[in-house]
């Protein structure tokens, strides 16, 4: 966020509401979303004890987060988290979605695969 503010790129300055919503989604992407994807990765790929409950629990949490993201994308007028603005929030979310895309393609709905590929 420091670089986005310093160079006045990727952080909307048109309205304070849009700016704070972008910051909120950026924090969601870098804290809640990233934690859940890391947790999923641990239980599906790196855990030495493959506990079905833990894997299912992690998958459910990621699906819930994807539903939150899906609602936001449906509520905006454009292709980005903040509507027609490509922002730092898109970057913070896309990073982990693309990591999931490379490993857990079967868990990601098609619309997110399309969105992920459009950001590349």
| 3 state DSSP class of 25 | helix
Joined tokens for residue 107: 């868990």
| 3 state DSSP class of 102 | helix
Residue 19 covered by a domain = no
The pLDDT tens digits of the residues spanning 6-53 come to 878 888 888 888 899 999 999 999 889 999 988 988 888 888 888 888
Residue 28 covered by a domain = no
Residue 29 covered by a domain = no
What is the per-residue pLDDT for 119? Answer: 66
Asked if residues 10 and 87 have their Cβ atoms less than 8 Å apart, the reply is: yes
Residue 31 covered by a domain = no
Count of structural domains, the chain: 1
Rounded Cα–Cα distance for residues 55 and 45 (Å): 10
Domain hosting residue 66, numbered range = 36-119
The pLDDT tens digits of the residues spanning 48-89 come to 888 888 888 988 998 899 889 888 888 887 788 888 888 899
Q: Give the domain CATH number at 94.
A: 1.20.1050.10
């Amino acid at each position: 966020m420091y670089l986005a503010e310093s160079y006045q790129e990727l952080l909307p300055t048109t309205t304070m509401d849009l700016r704070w919503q972008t910051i909120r989604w950026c924090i969601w992407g870098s804290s809640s979303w990233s934690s859940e994807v890391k947790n999923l990765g641990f239980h599906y790929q790196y855990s030495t004890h493959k506990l079905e409950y833990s894997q299912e629990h992690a998958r459910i949490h990621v699906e819930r987060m994807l539903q939150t993201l899906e609602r936001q994308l449906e509520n905006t007028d454009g292709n980005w988290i903040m509507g027609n603005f490509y922002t730092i929030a898109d970057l913070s979310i896309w990073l982990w979605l693309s990591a999931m895309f490379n490993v857990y393609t079967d868990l990601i709905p098609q619309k997110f695969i399309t969105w992920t590929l459009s950001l590349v």
